[in-house]
């Protein structure tokens, strides 16, 4: 099995961005999960911090993003504002060669007004925390009817922080016909239950190394 990104069926724009950032060799989670992710399967990934999960789901969602089409195509739910900013930044860097790609962050603890403003121009990818996203949907400023890829990043932490209800509410707004990628550092019963509720025959990928 090859461990080079260049062997994956990625768009030239993504291969070029990987090359520019000197990403050549895949980490173990990337090697194990990317072929299934790129075949549009649901993936349940368990891997500890530092294993390269962001790049794994970022490549999956960007590969399917059509920047000429309007509407939110991907939603990434994260536990914290800091994580949402980091993830969005990594997606933007990878999407550098995709003209007009718009990645927006939405999280609580900051004024909602500017977020409402930024949503008037829509976005292809939204990265944010469940509570604020739920608020924006409730207030009629955001719809997720065109989402093709749903990602839960650090799902165990979102549960620990008490976001289950908000998460579930937001997920109900996303079409059933979609790809769902769920990542977690640990794998308690609560995560298995959520996976069963929101994923279709997920491929389970577990790694214990970070390289
Ligand atoms: P996780 O979300 O699993 O904790 P991250 O996605 O934040 O891990 O990645 C950790 C670090 O590893 C980041 O600095 C990222 O840029 C880097 N990284 C990810 N994939 C690769 C790779 N294939 N080669 C080199 N560095 C990588
Ligand atoms: Mg991470």
- In order of their start, the domains of the chain are 28-206 (3.40.50.300)
Range 106-137 burial, b when 16+ CB lie within 10 A, else e: bbbeeeeeebeeebeeebbbbbbbbbbbbbbb
For residue 30 and ligand 1, the question of a CB distance below 6 A is answered with yes
- Give residue-wise pLDDT tens across range 68-79: 998 999 999 999
In this prediction the ipTM stands at: 0.98
Say which residues have a Cβ less than 8 Å from residue 1's Cβ, sequence separation at least 6: 31
Could you tell me the distance, in angstroms and rounded to a whole number, from the CA of residue 198 to the centre of ligand 1?
Answer: 26
Could you tell me the distance, in angstroms and rounded to a whole number, from the CA of residue 143 to the centre of ligand 1?
Answer: 31
Could you tell me the distance, in angstroms and rounded to a whole number, from the CA of residue 208 to the centre of ligand 2?
Answer: 14
In this predicted structure, the answer to whether residue 191 has a pLDDT above a threshold of 80 is yes
User: Which residues in the chain belong to E strands, given as ranges?
Assistant: 43-46, 74-77, 103-106, 125-128, 149-152, 179-184, 203-206
The pLDDT value given to residue 108: 96
Smallest-distance ligand from the CA of 5: 1
- Give residue-wise pLDDT tens across range 135-184: 999 999 999 999 999 999 999 999 999 999 999 999 999 999 999 999 99
Residue nearest atom 9 of ligand 1, based on CA coordinates: 52
Q: Are 198 and 60 in contact (CB under 8 A)?
A: no
Length of the chain (residues):
211
**What DSSP element (H or E) covers 94?**
helix 81-94
In this predicted structure, the answer to whether residue 210 has a pLDDT above a threshold of 80 is no
The best mutation among 52, 57, 90, 209 to test binding of ligand 1, ranked by most ligand atoms within 8 Å of the C-beta, falls on 52
Q: What are the two backbone dihedrals, phi and then psi, of residue 13, each rounded to the nearest 5 degrees?
A: -60, -40
For residue 53 and ligand 1, the question of a CB distance below 6 A is answered with yes
* Residues 79, 85, 90, 94, CA torsion sign: positive
CA distances from 105 to 47, 48, 97 (A): 24, 24, 20
For residue 23 and ligand 1, the question of a CB distance below 6 A is answered with yes
Residue whose C-alpha is closest to residue 83's, from 57, 44, 120 = 57
Residue nearest atom 27 of ligand 1, based on CA coordinates: 52
For residue 51 and ligand 1, the question of a CB distance below 6 A is answered with yes
For residue 69 and ligand 1, the question of a CB distance below 6 A is answered with no
For residue 179 and ligand 1, the question of a CB distance below 6 A is answered with no
Say which residues have a Cβ less than 8 Å from residue 137's Cβ, sequence separation at least 6: 143, 144, 170, 173
């Amino acid at each position: 099995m090859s461990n080079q990104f260049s062997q994956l069926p990625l768009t030239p724009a993504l291969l070029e961005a990987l090359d520019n950032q000197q990403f050549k060799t895949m980490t173990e989670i990337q090697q194990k999960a990317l072929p299934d992710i790129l075949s549009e399967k649901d993936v349940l990934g368990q891997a500890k911090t530092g294993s390269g999960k962001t790049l794994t789901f970022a490549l999956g969602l960007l590969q399917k993003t059509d920047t000429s089409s309007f509407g939110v195509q991907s939603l990434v739910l994260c536990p914290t504002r800091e994580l949402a900013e980091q993830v969005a930044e990594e997606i933007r860097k990878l999407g550098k060669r995709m003209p007009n790609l718009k990645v927006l962050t939405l999280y609580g603890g900051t004024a909602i007004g500017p977020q409402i403003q930024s949503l008037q121009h829509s976005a292809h990818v939204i990265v944010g925390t469940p509570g604020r996203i739920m608020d924006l949907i409730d207030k009629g400023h955001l719809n997720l009817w065109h989402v093709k890829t749903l990602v839960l990043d650090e799902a165990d932490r979102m549960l620990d922080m008490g976001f289950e209800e908000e998460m579930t509410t937001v997920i109900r707004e996303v079409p059933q016909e979609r790809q769902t990628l769920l990542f977690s550092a640990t794998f308690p019963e609560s995560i298995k239950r959520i996976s069963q509720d929101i994923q279709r025959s997920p491929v389970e990928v577990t790694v214990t190394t970070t390289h």
